[in-house]
Amino acid sequence: MDKPSISAHISHQYNAELEDIRSRVLAMGGLVEQQLAHALIALVDSDIAMAERVLATDYQVNAMEVAIDEECTQIIARRQPTASDLRLIMAVIKTITDLERIGDEAERIGRMALQLSKVGTLKKQCMELENMGAQVKKILHDSLDCFARNDPQAALQVARTDLQIDRQYESIMRQLITFMMEDPRSIPRALDVIWSARALERIGDRARNICEYVIYLVKGKDVRHTSLEQIEQETLRS
C-alpha cells in the first residue's frame, strides 16, 4: 500500500506535530460518530434527553475544529511543509471541515427529534430512517478508518457505498411525498422526517469527501467532483 511517511524528518518535534494532528482528527471523528449515534437514538426512540445531549456536543466538535485548524496553521508557518507533509496538513484541514459539518447535520437531526417527540413520529418512515442511519454510521466509521490507515483502495470501496445511501434517501422521499398527498394532516411531521433524511444523505456525502481526501493524501491526486470510475483509475495508478 502506498503510504506517506511522517517519520523521516530530522526533527523529532516535527514528527510529533504531524502525528498529533492526525490523532486529533481521529479523536474529533470519534466524537462526531458518537454525536451521530446519539442523534439517531433520539430520533428513533423520541428520546428528548439524548437529543439535548446531541445539541450540547456540537460545541465540543466546533471547538476541536478550531483548535486543530490553528495547529495546522502554526505548522505551516513554522515548518513550511512540502510534498506529502503539505498534503497531510491540507487533508486534515479539509477533513475537520467536513467533520464539523457532519456534526451540524447530527445536531439538525437532534432538533428534528425534539420536534417529532412533541407531535408523534411516522413509525414506518422512522424505521426506514433507522436503516439508512445504520448505513450512514458505517460509511462515516469506515471513512475515518481509511484515514487512520492511509488506505486509498479501501477509501474507494467506502466511497462506493454512498450510492446505496443516495438510493435509500430517494426511496424515503418517494414514500413521504405519497404519504403527504394521501393525508395532508401528516405534512408537518413528514417534513421533519424529510429534513432528517436529508441530513443523513449529506453526512454520507461528507464521509465520501473524507475518502477522497485519503486518496489525495496518498496518491497526490485531487479526485473531487469526479466520477467513481475516474477515482478508481487514479487510485489504481502507481
Taken in order 107, 112, 113, 114, the sign of the CA dihedral is: positive
User: Residue 122's pLDDT is what?
Assistant: 56
The pLDDT of residue 236 is above 80: no
Cα separation, 43 vs 131, in Å, equals 12
| For residues 155-176, average pLDDT | 93
The DSSP 8-state label assigned to residue 151 in this structure reads -
Q: Is 3 left (phi over 0), alpha (psi -120 to 50) or beta?
A: beta
Q: pLDDT tens digits, residue range 166-219? A: 999 999 999 889 988 988 888 888 888 899 999 999 999 999 999 999 999 999
| Integer Cα distance of 65 and 3 in angstroms | 25
Domains of the chain by start residue, with CATH: 12-236 (1.20.58.220)
Q: In which band, very low, low, confident or very high, does the pLDDT at 235 lie, cut at 50, 70 and 90?
A: confident
98: cell is 467536513
Is residue 221 within a helix (H) or strand (E), and if so which, with residue range?
none
The identity of residue 107, as a single letter, is E
Q: What's the pLDDT at 10? A: 57
pLDDT score of 1: 46
Per-residue pLDDT, averaged over 88-100, amounts to: 97
